Structure 1
Amino acid sequence: MRYSITALAIALAAHATAASAQEDSAATDEEIIVTAGKIGTNLDRAPVAAVSLSGETLERLNIQSVRDTQIRMPSVVYDTSGGSAQVYIRGIGTNSAYAGLESSIGTYQDGVYLQRQVGAALDVVDMAGVEVLNGPQGSLYGRNATGGVILVTTKDPTDRYEGSASVEYARFDSVTAEGVVNVPLSQDFAVRVAGKYAYSDGYVTNVANGDRLGGYRNATVRGKLGYNPAGPFSAVLAVEYSRQVSDPIARRRLTGAPECLACAVYGENLPAPGGFYEVDQTRSRDTLISYTAGTLNLRYEGEGFSVVSVTGYRDFSYKVFVDQDFAAGDLFRTRAEEYGWTFTHDSFVRTDFDGPFNFLLGVSGEIDRDTLLGQFFGDAFGSFQGGINHSRVDLRSISPYGEFYYAITPKLKLTLGGRYNIDEKKLRVTNDPTAVLAPGATAQFRQKDVFKDFTPRAVLSYELPDGTVYASFSRGAKSGGYNTPALNPLVPLQSEKLTSYEVGAKTALFDRRLKLAAAGFYYDYKDIQVSFVDAASGGVRAENAANARVYGLELTASAEPVTGLTISGGATWLDAKFKSYTSAAIFCPKAYASPGYPGCPTPTGGPGMVNGVADLSGSRLPRAPEWSFSAAVDYTIPLSDDYDAILTVADRYTGSYDFLAGAGGPLGLSRQDSFHMVTASASLVQRPGGLKLRAFVENLAKAKYYLDLPTSAFGIAGSVGAPRTYGASIGFSF
């Protein structure tokens, strides 16, 4: 049965789920503190639903990017397409956003907010850990944290000579090499340098020309200089460069003619290529993502208070070329280039007085410039193909915030907080003479809008002997903006708003060998930024056209029945539906009628799909599976005084979900069936440092799944996820 894993997940007790942020191995009991200290307490006791994976766990699971962490996070659905991170937490997220809009999930690296979805699926390089806070985090983490935040922490320099090196080889000629070295320069200064190179030949075949697709060539290097004297002040300066080159986006079409427009135009009347890992499309260019980033973290620990300052700068470039018609004929290709820079700063003071009253007060700001260049090619565009559109968005953002903590009794605490955010966005658009030939295009125009949002939070928590129970109210907001690329002046989208009510409990029993957590939540989600059909132009635009309600339960447990054996599991049940979505954009076949969809135009008998409209009130939100489970077993076996064997098996079950509202329209093909993602590994590790040998297999159950699966005027096609992969690695640490 498809729910057969339920008993396993609960019985084995999940270690990393959206209801509990706890230590990955019960064998150690170190406290896990959220990045930059904003939560400021052990997450086992913090009144927030969260999950934390240590650097050691990331290594055991062979997690190569932040996206892969979802195998231990049932409440998270994390896909990527063309380098863009499409992450959803409890059904809240954003499919994709170019200049002018942001994701509903905030991603931070070492305390610095990453403005863009592209490049946010960071490679795992010398990571200290990854933490996910579920639900709106507006008071502490600001705008665009409607559904939650992902906090990535890299390792800081230490006062020891240490380092490591490893090389891995896997299926599809995949090679990964990684190295780290940490050198103390003096009593107060240390430097740490980490680098990683990853290559893969790809797992998809383009039957049109025999090319291999799905491969990549990624390189990341990071240097950190740490200053950590015996006094109260410490500082870390980091510089990072990353370059990711991946094969052209490969999309497997699900239908042939008449739904596939290019198939009919060029006589390719066959359905999709026979294999799941086969595509048939025009040759295109590689996708390139590169960035240079600098971060300065300052901390001062005073008597009863601490001051933290985080400053970040990131210069970014993205180039992608996509065959949009899913066939070998050249009907519709696009070129997009996005580039710009971001400057962020966040400072806060946190008190730790002996009395009942404490507080956190801070202010954050951001300056961002994001330019999007769009260009269209192919027979579909006639005289205006090759036209270039430049859409530039300048952002100025400022937000004071704070939380106040009052201990009503020694065990009962009240938290009240909030943030007031002001975003000023300016849009500047230029269309070249060829692009101006497009219907409705304007040569150039400018717009300016200001978006203001207040996101309060209130929590009542009660401390247990080894845990906490809590009830919380919070609000999140995704900033308004512009849906680029834009050919003519836009009606700006207003901010999305989400109000959350949550109750939860966390506890540990039997000398912390058994950890349990549960959370229940209800969301009122308003002014959702969605696409719609513009009856005047026949095109698809965007507006705040939908409201939704979301509620669910999260359960986790982690047990260490004997030393060295950790059994964990978790489950998420989610009911996420639109309350009102009367003008939903769908796509209808031109060749035949669509019973039950009165908003579809009268069939013309021609090939391809056409814009329609539907009332999708009551339908599920995209990427919001009803059930998700995780289960894992970690077993460390001492072989001698010097060596351990480590066995790890993990399974993530994801229920079926839609990629688009209503699965894209009458065909209902923009939908992912339920699947299991199983990984297993066996390692030989020398203690306390030395040789590491590891063999692993990923996607052991041969799950067939998509990373995205859009329906469009040209048909239905999606990017497929990797098949079963296996390999081995050798490493050494000192």
Structure 2
Amino acid sequence: MSNILHLRAALGSILASTALLPVTAYGQQSEGSGIDALSAEIVVTARKREENVQTIPLSVSAFSGEAIEARGIDRIDGLAAFTPNLTLQNNPSFGGAGSSAAIYIRGIGQKEFLPTTEPGVGVYVDGVYVARSVGALLDLVDVERVEILRGPQGTLFGRNTIGGAISIATNKPNDTAGGKFSVTTGRYSRVDVKGMASIPLGETLFSKVSFASFNRDGYVRHLVDGRQLGDVGTLTGRLDLRWLASDSFEVNLSVDGTRDRNNGPAMVLSDVTYASAIFNPQGLPLLPPGSASTPGAYVLNPPFDAPTDNFTLLHNYFAALLGGQPCLGFAPYSPQSNAPACFSDRFLVGDNATAGTAPQFARNNLWGAQVTLDWDLGAVQLKSITAWREVDGDYARDGDHSPFTILHLSDKLMQNQLSQELQLLGETADKRLKYVFGAYYFREKGNNINSLDFTPVTFRSGGRFQTESFALFGQATFSVTPAVSLTAGLRYTKDDKSFLPDQEILVDKTGGALIAASPNTPQIRILPFATVRQSEDALTPTVTASWTVAPDAMVYGSWSRGFKSGGFVQRVFPAQASVPQFGAETAEAFELGFKTQFFNRMLTLNASAFMTRYEDLQVQVFTGIAPVTKNAASAEIRGLELEARLSPGDGWFLEGSMGYIDPEFTKVDPAAVEITRASRFERVARWTLSGAVSKSVELADGGNVMGRLDWSYRSGMFMDALNSTELFQPGYHLINANLTWNLPGDVVALTAGITNLTNKQYMQTGVYGASFGLFEKMFARAREWSVGAKWTF
């Protein structure tokens, strides 16, 4: 209720504030709604010019805004159910950011949110690259379309699109006055409100204001105060202006922002290990210090046997030897007890609760502005995209889920980015040669401070970061014959990065046993307070051949390379003499595919087969207290994809997809002892399947009802590079259903829906830190119902 009251008070200002979310005009639907929207062909800009998705030799899954709405999807991760070989999950940061996108396409991606590590799949909104995964799990308030490009897009998209790209396009204001308003309620006290008004300001000047509020209770109870983790409290607003300065010159301006507040991610403690290679590794009965060596028993030897490789056991070790608590049973040996000062399995309180007592919250403020200029110069078209984006985040969470201080984390992230892109598009040789040339500049800087309070030590991690990137690119398509086309492109990228670590040990609670410092001595540097730099460049070409064998049938083959720049290991402990770095990773992809339509375009069938050589993988592993990134391996990835849509008439629409992927490590660095040639890729399911059926019925009064049932399946996958058994998610099926009743006149529509119909429990993310002995999981939401109303005016 407080969020709703706050919305009413802030509504006037939020419309003029800013957001990352793509909030667009409701009144600009061009494809209709319901079955028409699902079956309509889509025009995309995957090659920087408008083309029918069925005519471009690329693996693209494209969804119009109306088709997304008809599928009952309200957030971008919902598209993963219908897109082959796509993993798109909410992966809360190690420090507690409640919304952080982990995106993998064809086995390539990244789950780390730290600004010193780049994502493996590029996210773009109206052509603007979104650098940070915090805030990239976008609520789909309303969009013109979403394009999911699979495979390296290193030529035209360029920046860190080694795995693929997700491109979101918003609707532009136009000369039609009108708007739309909707309200949705449902389980967990859900109240979502969305609205838009399109207001022409003159014959050539148009405006649009949009807003949205999303509110939902959490689903994991924070026992100490009764709060619910995993809740939603988001406000967003956007202002768009469009000026048709002349027949050949157009200006589009947008200013948008988001305010997000929640109680932190819905993480729960799922298991604990008390094993240590230092203290009593065989689990033998204990003997007091000073006892004679006895076969079959372990003689305590404090402080030299302090289990600094397992902080949970270390807590009990301290409590027993320094506090006289019964945390270590002697005969038989037990590393835990239920005494008040001891950590034990009693804190495993289930999948819907946590016993942590440290602060837990996630607060994000995101805003930005963008100006796009389009000139039609006759023979060529020139486009300029200038954008500014900013993130201000503050996060905290209790990673040990207990009243003790074993794993307490907090993060502060300040980030801003400036980007400028110029594109020159044209046609020549009697329109047989189409080309695009461009230049791109990107600058990102900020400060990310991590405060960490662990059993043996309290310290500050993180630091200041900056990235400058410059690129030149070009691509041309030549029609050898009306049926055969050749495309070639090349991009040169130069990245310059710097990192100033601001990392200090504040308290050594071990009395010097863990680190070479006097106990409780502050201001001990973990890394030198000196700026480190990294420079990399890359050439990323692409070559494609396509053959239109019939009016509605095309086959194609392509070769492309992708590049993802390296970075710095930001979280370091114990102290080191220099900042660990990792280099760029590269991918070389080969693909064969076809796109076909049959029976007067009632049936659409697209398929592709691919093989990717993946070099210098940036793998996130736990080698100490925190996860670190290493260039640890090389791999080959093979796979298949199939997408089908059928519109047989009489109000029916059927669709399905299949993705198969087989990634295999071909080489593993001997120093990377955490993975082997037999290891599985994290967060990559071998099979992704989906199917859906929709039916629209026209009513006698002029209205219509459309029902939809969809199913998806994802085979088993590990949530970490270590392939921890506890963090393996078995294969699972999901079923959703929705119903829309459009009243006569197409002004009012009533909706009802159910997600996760069978109430399947499955993980969205999992975390294991060997230094803590703790396994954490975050499950997806259980079955939810919703009802809503929409009004178009």
The answer to whether TM tops 0.5 is: yes
Q: What CA distance in whole angstroms lies between the structure 2 residues aligned with 1:654 and 1:722? A: 16
Residues 718 and 727 of structure 2 are in contact (CA less than 8 Å); yes or no, is this contact kept in structure 1? yes
Aligned counterpart for 1:646 among listed residues 703, 706, 721: 706
Q: What are the within-5 Å matches in structure 2 for residues 302-451 of structure 1? A: 302-353=377-428, 354-381=430-457, 385=458, 387-432=459-504, 434=506, 441-442=526-527, 444-451=529-536
Distance 2:442 2:689 in 1: 38
Q: CA deviation at 1:376?
A: 1.2
Question: Which protein, 1 or 2, shows the higher relative CO under an 8 Å CA cutoff with sep ≥ 6?
Answer: 1
Q: CA deviation at 1:295?
A: 1.0
Residue identity matched to 1:496: E
Report the Cα distance in structure 2 between the residues aligned to 1:440 and 1:580, rounded to whole angstroms.
36
SS of 1:444 mapped into structure 2: coil
Answering whether residue 355 of structure 2 is matched by residue 270 of structure 1, we say no
Partners of 1:206 and 1:132 lie apart in 2 by: 37
In structure 2, do the counterparts of structure 1 residues 357 and 445 end up closer, same or farther at CA, with 3 Å as the change threshold?
Answer: same
Structure 1: 5+ residue stretches without partners: 1-21, 586-612
Match of 1:210 in 2: 226
CA radius of gyration, larger in? 2
Pick from 128, 142, 154 the counterpart of residue 144 of structure 2.
128
Report 1:211-610 matches (<5 A). 211-228=227-244, 231-256=247-272, 258=274, 262=312, 265=316, 266-270=341-345, 273=348, 275-353=350-428, 354-381=430-457, 385=458, 387-432=459-504, 434=506, 441-442=526-527, 444-463=529-548, 464-485=550-571, 488=576, 489-531=578-620, 541-583=628-670
Relative to 1, partners in 2 of residues 1:159 and 1:283: Cα closer, same or farther, differing over 3 Å?
same
Say whether the 8 Å CA contact 2:121–2:161 is kept in structure 1: yes
The 3 A distance-change label for structure 1 pair 532 and 120 is closer
Preserved CA contact (<8 Å) 2:414 2:448: yes
Report what 1:168 is aligned to.
184
Aligned partners of 1:143 and 1:476 also within 8 Å:
no
* Candidates 48, 56, 64, aligned match of 2:58: 48
**1:42-191 correspondence runs (5 A):** 42-80=52-90, 81=92, 82-191=98-207
Give the gaps of 5 or more residues in structure 2: 1-30, 93-97, 276-309, 317-340, 508-520
Matched, 1:691 2:743: no
**Residues 1:634 and 2:719 are matched in the alignment:** no
Matching residue within 665, 672, 693 for 2:729:
672
- Per-residue Cα deviation, 1:407-450 (whole angstroms, up to 9, x for no partner): 22121111110101001111112235737958871351111121
Q: Which amino acid aligns with 1:656?
A: G
Rounded to whole Å, the distance in 1 between the matches of 2:674 and 2:65 is 46
Q: Distance in 1 between matches of 2:586 and 2:681?
A: 15
Secondary structure at the aligned position of 1:322 is classed as: strand
Whole-angstrom CA distance in 1 between matches of 2:535 and 2:212: 41
CA distance in 1 between counterparts of 2:343 and 2:377 reads 71
Deviates more, 1:56-65 or 1:368-377: 56-65
Amino acid at match of 1:551: R
- 8 Å contact kept, 2:34–2:696: no
Q: Is the 8 A contact 1:77 1:89 kept in 2?
A: yes
Q: Distance in 2 between matches of 1:341 and 1:363?
A: 21
Q: Report the Cα distance in structure 2 between the residues aligned to 1:625 and 1:334, rounded to whole angstroms.
A: 30
Distance 2:522 2:539 in 1: 42
Deviation for aligned residue 1:622? 1.0
SS of residue paired to 1:255: strand
Aligned 8 A contact 1:126 1:180 in 2: no
Alpha-carbon distance in structure 1 between the residues aligned to 2:178 and 2:209: 11
Counterpart AA for 1:401: F
C-alpha change, 1:726 and 1:492, in structure 2 (3 Å) is same
Shift, 1:494, TM fit: 1.0
Counterparts of 1:646 and 1:377, CA distance in 2: 54
Deviations 1:332-372 (A, max 9, x none): 20111111210011111111332432211011110110211
SS in 1 for 2:172: coil
**Mean Cα displacement is larger for which, 27-36 or 51-60?**
27-36
C-alpha contact (below 8 Å) 1:426/1:448 kept by paired residues: yes
Q: Which amino acid aligns with 2:56?
A: A
**How high is the TM-score relative to the length of structure 1?**
0.88
Separation in 1 of the partners of 2:466 and 2:608?
Answer: 39
Task: Say if 1:86 and 1:93, in contact at 8 Å, map to a contact too.
Answer: yes
Q: Distance in 2 between matches of 1:336 and 1:301?
A: 47
Count of residue pairs brought into register by the alignment: 677
CA separation of 1:485 and 1:268: change in aligned 2, threshold 3 A? closer
C-alpha distance in 2, partners of 1:533/1:555?
36
Q: Is the 8 A contact 2:209 2:240 kept in 1?
A: yes
CA shift at 1:687, angstroms? Answer: 5.4
Alpha-carbon deviation of 1:250? 3.0
Retained in 2: the 8 A contact 1:129–1:154?
Answer: yes
What is the TM-score of this pair, normalised by structure 2?
A: 0.81
Contact 1:146 1:497 in 2 (8 A): yes
Q: CA RMSD in A?
A: 2.4
Identity among equivalent pairs (%): 25
- State the AA in 2 paired with 1:327: S
CA contact (8 A) 1:204 1:278 kept: yes
CA contact (8 A) 1:131 1:152 kept: yes
Q: Which amino acid aligns with 1:696?
A: G
